Amino acid sequence: MPFVKEKFTVPNKMPAFLFIMRTFNLTQGQAQRVLAKGRLLINGKSIFNTGDSIEGEVEIVYFKPSSKGNTPLFHTKDFMIFEKYSGVLVHPNTMSTPYSLLDEIRTIAGDNANAVHRIDMETSGLLLASKHKKAETYLKCSFEDRSIKKSYLAWVDGKLADPFSISEPVKINNDYSQTKHKVFISAEGKVSHTDFIPLEYDSKLDATLVACYPHTGRTHQIRVHLFHVKHPILGDPIYGTTFKTANDYLEDSLTLEERKAETGASRLMLHAQSLNFSFGPQFYIESKVDFKKMKNLICPKEERIFNS
C-alpha cells in the first residue's frame, strides 16, 4: 500500500516542519503541506500548526511507492514517458488506493518526481512525468500554454467517414441529480476545440477508429465532444448511457456483462497515442500499443443494448 504510517523518534526538540524536511529531503513548503494535511501525529492525533515544535515519538503518514515493474517507454535525465494501462490511476485518489502510476514514477526518480498531466483511469496510453521540480514546472507550463501537442485514438459507436472539428464550449457539472456527466456542452462553458479524423470503419462492429487532436485541455473534452455528435466512445459508462447505468458504474455495481451490452465495450476505448513537445530538443513519442487490435474488446453490434 503506497501510504504508510511509520514511527519516528525526534531526539531533540525542533520545529515539526524542520524534522520532516530533514527526514524526507523535502523543501520547507512541501514539509508544511504534510503538516497541513494532518499527516504528522502525536499520541494518535494529527497536528496541523506548521510552527509547532516536536520531541520524542511521532508518527508520520507518507507515500511509500511500491513498483509493479512498469518501466518508462522513454526517458531522459529530466522526464519519463510511460505506457499507462487502462484501469490504472495516475495519482492515488485516496490514502487507501493500492496502486497508481505514481508508484512507478517515485520508485524510479524519487519523491520530487511527478506526473505533469492527467489521464482518466480507464484511458490507456502515454503519460508524461518529470524527474525533478524544475522539469515539472516547465512541463506543466507547457501544457498550460498548449505548446505540448497530444493525439488520441478512439473507437466510437457508428460510422464516421469525413474529418470534422468540434468547438463547443465545455462546462463543469455541479448537479449530478439529473445526469452523471462530469461536464456538458454549454454556452457558459470554457472554449474547447477538438479535430477528428476517421481512420477505419468496421461494419461488423458498427464502430469507427478515430484520431482525436485536442487543442484545449478541458476535462473529458474528447468524450463529451464525441457524445455531442452522437458517436460516443464505446465503453464509456458516463456519456452515451442511461442515468442508471452511469450511476451503477460509479457505485461499482455494474457487472462486466451489463457494461459490455450497455456501453459497447468492456473498457473506455480511448488511448493517448502521441506526445509532441520540446525540452531543449523537440520530442515526438508514439505509443507502442496496437490500439487498433483492441477492437476485440468491443461488444458485437447486435448485442449492444444502446444500439437496439
List the chain domain ranges: 3-63, 74-144, 149-307
> N- to C-terminal Cα distance for the chain?
44
- Reading the chain (308 residues) residue by residue, the pLDDT tens digits are 578 889 999 999 999 999 999 998 888 988 999 999 899 999 999 988 878 899 999 999 988 899 999 999 999 999 999 999 999 999 998 888 889 999 999 999 998 899 999 999 999 999 999 999 999 999 999 999 999 999 999 999 999 999 999 999 999 999 998 899 999 999 999 999 999 999 999 999 999 999 999 999 999 999 999 999 999 999 999 999 999 999 999 999 999 999 999 999 999 999 999 999 999 999 999 999 999 999 999 999 999 986 44
Of 52, 78, 103, 120, which one is the catalytic site residue? Answer: 120
47 alpha-carbon distance from chain centroid:
31
What is the homologous superfamily of the domain 3-63 according to CATH?
RNA-binding S4 domain (3.10.290.10)
Q: What is the DSSP string of 48-75?
A: --TT-EEEEEEEEEEE---------SEE
- DSSP annotation of 19 reads H
Residue 1 has a pLDDT of 54
Residue 93 has a pLDDT of 84
* 8 Å CB contact between 193 and 169: no
3-63 and 149-307 agree in CATH topology: no
Give the architecture-level CATH label for domain 74-144: 2-Layer Sandwich (3.30)
Burial 187-209 (b: 16+ CB within 10 A, else e): eebeebbbebebeeeeeebbbbb
Reference 301, options 249, 257, 265, 258; nearest CA is: 265
What is the homologous superfamily of the domain 149-307 according to CATH?
Pseudouridine synthase (3.30.2350.10)
CA distances in angstroms from 209 to 21, 107, 156, 205, listed in the order given: 50, 35, 6, 11
* 8 Å CB contact between 210 and 199: yes
What pTM value is reported for the model? 0.89
Specify whether 202 is catalytic.
no
